[in-house]
């Protein structure tokens, strides 16, 4: 079941250090690359290494596309690519290792898309503790409004052949240098570990 990571799997994530505005053609090309990246997840699945407990991949896009204020279209395309990648990873997991109990999901930081990522959890205890963020300095409070749906709000969709759940959180970070509050959404194979 050991597969190699496609050579271009991480090549799209870049920092734009010259603060130069990207042309519309460059933005479109990078968003097309993002779609190709999501497609490349079909047939790829990382080796389940229980010593590491998880595998993750940040949203592979140039930071200047999602900073400082991305358009709704860019947000939609980034979130859709993450959802497509998660769906493709789930399909591959079911094909290559149907008995795997790992959990695949994407964590979408609505106000900081560059921090969004796909995470595959291999360890039950780590998965359970991952969502337990309750300290004074850093907390995730579940959004209990059952009417809220990031998928509906952004008008993005999930492939019909995978069953993904979503849970929103209010993320709070408070320390001496930073006070932040935003939304974070977990979308994927959520729920109890079997």
pTM (two decimals): 0.86
Residue 139's CB: how many other CB atoms inside 10 A?
Answer: 16
Residue 124's CB: how many other CB atoms inside 10 A?
Answer: 16
**For 106-151, what is each residue's pLDDT tens digit?**
999 988 899 999 999 999 999 999 999 988 899 999 999 888 999 9
CA dihedral 50, 53, 58, 59 (to 10 degrees): 80
Distance CA 119, CA 102 (A): 10
Taking the mean position of all CA atoms in its chain, how far away is CA 93? 17
Q: Where are the alpha helices (DSSP H) in 71-171?
A: 72-96, 124-130, 150-154
Provide the token pair at 179.
């006070």
Residue 34: DSSP 8-state: H
Highest mean pLDDT among 64-68, 110-114, 116-120, 190-194: 116-120
Partners of 56 in beta bridges? 119
């Amino acid at each position: 079941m050991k597969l190699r990571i496609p050579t271009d799997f991480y090549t799209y994530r870049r920092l734009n250090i010259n603060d130069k505005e990207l042309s519309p053609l460059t933005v479109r090309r990078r968003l097309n690359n993002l779609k190709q990246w999501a497609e490349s997840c079909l047939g790829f699945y990382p080796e389940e290494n229980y010593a590491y407990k998880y595998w993750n991949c940040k949203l592979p896009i140039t930071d200047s596309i999602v900073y400082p204020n991305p358009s709704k279209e860019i947000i939609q395309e980034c979130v859709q690519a993450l959802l497509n990648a998660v769906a493709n990873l789930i399909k591959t997991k079911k094909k290559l290792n149907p008995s795997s109990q790992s959990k695949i999901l994407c964590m979408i930081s609505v106000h900081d898309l560059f921090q969004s990522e796909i995470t595959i959890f291999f360890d039950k205890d780590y998965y359970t503790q991952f969502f337990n963020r309750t300290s004074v300095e850093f907390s995730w409070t579940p959004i209990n409004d059952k009417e809220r749906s990031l998928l509906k709000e952004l008008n993005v969709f999930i492939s019909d052949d995978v069953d993904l759940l979503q849970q929103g959180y209010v993320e709070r970070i408070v320390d001496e240098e930073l006070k932040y509050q935003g939304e974070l959404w977990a979308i994927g194979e959520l729920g109890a570990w079997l």
